[in-house]
Chains A and B, each alone.
Chain A
């Protein structure tokens, strides 16, 4: 009770001195007035009365001074002298101060960097979007699985029914060719309904958005809204942009608006949209039987904007009501379909849980680092205050209050923390200014790390907590009198109980260092697995054409947009011409056309089953599907194990054939010859069956982490319009960009020009996560290793100091140097032991949870464990060696005399 009112008083005296002063003046004035009134009542004149009152009071100013002393404003003076004292005592131990400041700089700097990164890619609002909290991501759910796309009719049903939404918008994104004088260029185009800009709160700043009427008849509304960056970069930001013409896939469009600056579409983290056109312009909008208007083909993503006051659960209930009705009305398509409402953010709702786990994991790691640093520093501060025992005892004896002493130690801690935190923040921001989230593979182009107030606030909080952690513990020890008296016979104090806290701290650190090093070792080892023999293809010399604008993954060429809409003779001729002209480039060893390539992040799935089994027995296998022409396996360097590859003759006149991977063959026909067997798709919509003509080795699929069973079908037998060029070169494939462009121009000058990407860069991109994680945990591990070396050294040295007498007695009794050294080392190892065990278990657990990132490496990989363990033991032994040697050099006579 007392301390509360007291603290309150002091705080007011420090933070609101003006107010206290005013209140005091008022109180005095009141007193004088009442006194004067009394005198007047007793018959004085008002003047006399006032004078008398003043005299009685004895000088208002003097009384105010006296009262002010009672406020305890002297605290402020105490504080300055404490700070001065702290600075002086720190100057006397510069090594301690430097280690503390640097450790805290590392800990707080690392955390600031992490917060900034998390904020930039996870928490920051989607750029250019207003009132984000009212936007709802509507996630389609099919048979309990969250999917990405809605069918357009479902969207229309939801849009047209009663709901808590102000408006609902649908859109589809694809790459398209934008025509200009110097040739085609691929751009990211969002095909949107008229409500799109309203839902996202991103009305065009110049011109207009789309009108309701532009949702109408397919292909009748060639209008385009350009993004701010497209306007600046490709149209030189000219003010008379409205009304200008752009060709999109060969069709002229009129520019009607410019989107707000920074606005790059709804999916900020997966790619920036360059252009927006009405959804009615989508290639799938034409001929009502195509994508839109079809309840079987999911094609659009859907967002809604809530009415003010409406809630997410109302939205979800409303949408699910519509879906329940549709399920009854269209059982064959909608029976298992529904949708759920999720908050809109930088990450699409579908991935959020996995992302969250990753973020929380990293936060935990960094927070652990800071905790370890604090434990380390607390240990050091304790050891230091133990060494200052005499000084402190003297100060106590001279009447320094215990509270004052604690305050002094706390002020030291706060000073060091402030300097350390400042340094850490500066370091972190300098470092973050040099990297971009795009380099780290955690965000789409256009994202930057911006320092946020949020990160600063957290940083401040952390610093405060750190100061408490490492300042308060040692300080509190001295507020316990029995410990202070214990200081008197410190030299006689014995063995194990010494520095119990430091021992725990050092043990925790070694554990954490072990855990982190282990993680690093696991990631680095898993990178080794990304070598050609494991990937199943040979990236050296292989190149893939990117027909896009250099986005986060290579874009495909869409033949239907280049005047080859169907699987006809003209398209077949084009394919031949493309293959021929590229193959004739000097340096090209082989070339193939395909709609994908190994490590392509876009994956096409297919469910297949063996056609020769009764359907009750047959199991559906979800496989990756790639359409390829002849020469594909030679080009990517995957061996044909059985049968043949896809050939030129596998065209639309020939029977459908398939080449499957080893693992798929083993799944479908274990122990049998797969050649000549039939594959089919479950669900009778498409009755095609393919005859298996060949088996190839397993190939890495969309990520380096897994090899899904894979089926390769002839490109010439499919009406899918997407394709890219895959080639194998005798030299650097990137150098072939020019010749390939030239070759394509010879075939068809209207085709957009590609850039050749070396397959090695695809591998690098696919293993980015492992490399980043390996680097981060390796760096953290080394830091913690250094810190724990300091910690272990400190504790062992402390123990040796405390045990000087005991060791001296032992030496006097005949213990050899070797025995003493072994004893001290054993002590150090015993201290590290529990930490090692815990750290190892923790790391193995984490690794098991992140198994998918290990590219098939076992989470308890013996090589990783052994190397991390040996490194750590080495560090523990070397850091205890110094004190051990010192112990062995103790001269018994001297030590016992001095003790």
Chain B
């Protein structure tokens, strides 16, 4: 199995998607690639959860999608952050920071 890649913490995928989309609108594959690149291959997005998550975020009204033509002339669905999504990203980041700090402080005890 080699070195285990860290599991995605439950619920953090949404936040990662929102974060990636806050940089620039892109398609599903682009999101997974960007997550992989930025995390230096540490994080891998499960493609299935990715699309389920994208649909959920669309339903929540945090992201919206449209069909556009890519650089090499392929039609692809591009996702972009909505205003509500931007706000949500703030909320999630804040939430994450508090969670991480809490976990950190507990681990520091040990």
By a beta-carbon cutoff of 8 Å, the part of chain A in contact with chain B is: 1-2, 4-6, 9, 23-24, 26-28, 30-31, 33-35, 38, 56-59, 62-63, 66-67, 69-72
Chain A: which residue is nearest B61 at the CB level?
A5
Q: Does B55 contact A (CB under 8 A)?
A: yes
Instruction: Find chain A residues with CB under 8 A from B76 CB.
Output: 27, 30
Chain A: which residue is nearest B47 at the CB level?
A57
Q: Does B24 contact A (CB under 8 A)?
A: no
Q: A5-B58, A6-B60, A23-B77 are in contact. Are A58 and B46 (CB under 8 A)?
A: yes
Q: Does B102 contact A (CB under 8 A)?
A: no
Q: A27-B28, A58-B47 are in contact. Are A9 and B58 (CB under 8 A)?
A: yes
Q: How far is the CA of A26 from the CA of B51 in the complex (A)?
A: 13
Are the CB atoms of B52 and A30 closer together than 8 Å?
no
Q: Which of A2, A5, A30 contacts B29 (CB 8 A)?
A: A30
Q: A31-B47, A63-B52 are in contact. Are A26 and B75 (CB under 8 A)?
A: yes
Instruction: Find chain A residues with CB under 8 A from B52 CB.
Output: 63, 66-67, 69-70
Q: How far is the CA of A5 from the CA of B76 in the complex (A)?
A: 21
Q: Which of B33, B48, B64 contacts A58 (CB 8 A)?
A: B48
Are the CB atoms of A62 and B48 closer together than 8 Å?
yes
Q: How far is the CA of A415 from the CA of B56 in the complex (A)?
A: 32
* Least distance between A615 CB and chain B CB atoms (Å): 83
Instruction: Find chain B residues with CB under 8 A from A6 CB.
Output: 59-61
Are the CB atoms of B61 and A4 closer together than 8 Å?
yes
* Least distance between A131 CB and chain B CB atoms (Å): 43
Q: Does B74 contact A (CB under 8 A)?
A: yes
Assign chain B's interface to a size class.
20 to 34
Are the CB atoms of A35 and B60 closer together than 8 Å?
no
Q: Does B27 contact A (CB under 8 A)?
A: yes
* Least distance between A29 CB and chain B CB atoms (Å): 10
Q: Does B8 contact A (CB under 8 A)?
A: no
* Least distance between B5 CB and chain A CB atoms (Å): 13
Q: How far is the CA of A322 from the CA of B28 in the complex (A)?
A: 73
Q: A27-B28, A27-B76 are in contact. Are A70 and B55 (CB under 8 A)?
A: yes
Instruction: Find chain B residues with CB under 8 A from A66 CB.
Output: 48-49, 51-52
Q: Does B84 contact A (CB under 8 A)?
A: yes
Q: A23-B77, A27-B76, A30-B27 are in contact. Are A5 and B59 (CB under 8 A)?
A: yes
List B residues 17-68 near A (Cβ within 8 Å).
Answer: 27-29, 33, 46-49, 51-53, 55-56, 58-61, 64, 67
Instruction: Find chain B residues with CB under 8 A from A1 CB.
Output: 61, 84
What are 20 sample pairs from A and B whose C-beta atoms fall under 8 A apart? A1-B61, A1-B84, A2-B60, A2-B61, A2-B84, A5-B58, A6-B61, A24-B51, A27-B27, A27-B28, A27-B76, A31-B47, A33-B74, A34-B29, A58-B46, A63-B48, A67-B48, A70-B53, A70-B55, A71-B59
* Least distance between B103 CB and chain A CB atoms (Å): 28
Q: How far is the CA of A6 from the CA of B64 in the complex (A)?
A: 12
A5-B64, A6-B59 are known; give 19 further A-B pairs, CB within 8 A.
Answer: A1-B61, A2-B61, A9-B58, A9-B59, A23-B77, A26-B75, A27-B77, A30-B27, A30-B76, A31-B29, A38-B33, A57-B48, A63-B47, A63-B48, A67-B55, A69-B52, A70-B52, A70-B53, A71-B59
Instruction: Find chain B residues with CB under 8 A from A72 CB.
Output: 59
Chain A: which residue is nearest B46 at the CB level?
A58
Are the CB atoms of A70 and B84 closer together than 8 Å?
no
The 6 closest A-B pairs by CB, nearest first: A5-B61, A63-B48, A70-B55, A34-B29, A66-B52, A31-B29
Q: How far is the CA of A809 from the CA of B47 in the complex (A)?
A: 71
Q: Which of A2, A6, A24, A70 has the most CB of B within 10 A?
A: A70
Q: How far is the CA of A34 from the CA of B67 in the complex (A)?
A: 16
Instruction: Find chain A residues with CB under 8 A from B55 CB.
Output: 67, 70-71
Instruction: Find chain B residues with CB under 8 A from A28 CB.
Output: 51
Q: Which of B29, B53, B77, B84 contacts A35 (CB 8 A)?
A: B29
Instruction: Find chain A residues with CB under 8 A from B77 CB.
Output: 23, 26-27, 30
Chain B: which residue is nearest A27 at the CB level?
B77
Q: How far is the CA of A4 from the CA of B75 in the complex (A)?
A: 27
Instruction: Find chain B residues with CB under 8 A from A5 CB.
Output: 58-61, 64
Instruction: Find chain A residues with CB under 8 A from B56 CB.
Output: 70
Q: How far is the CA of A70 from the CA of B67 in the complex (A)?
A: 20
Instruction: Find chain A residues with CB under 8 A from B58 CB.
Output: 5, 9
Q: How far is the CA of A70 from the CA of B58 in the complex (A)?
A: 10
Q: How far is the CA of A86 from the CA of B54 in the complex (A)?
A: 35
Chain B: which residue is nearest A69 at the CB level?
B52
Instruction: Find chain A residues with CB under 8 A from B47 CB.
Output: 31, 56-58, 63
Chain A: which residue is nearest B60 at the CB level?
A2
* Least distance between A49 CB and chain B CB atoms (Å): 14
List B residues 61-88 near A (Cβ within 8 Å).
Answer: 61, 64, 67, 74-77, 84
Instruction: Find chain A residues with CB under 8 A from B49 CB.
Output: 66
* Least distance between B54 CB and chain A CB atoms (Å): 8
* Least distance between A744 CB and chain B CB atoms (Å): 86
Are the CB atoms of A27 and B51 closer together than 8 Å?
yes
Q: Which of B51, B60, B61, B75 contacts A63 (CB 8 A)?
A: B51
Instruction: Find chain A residues with CB under 8 A from B74 CB.
Output: 30, 33
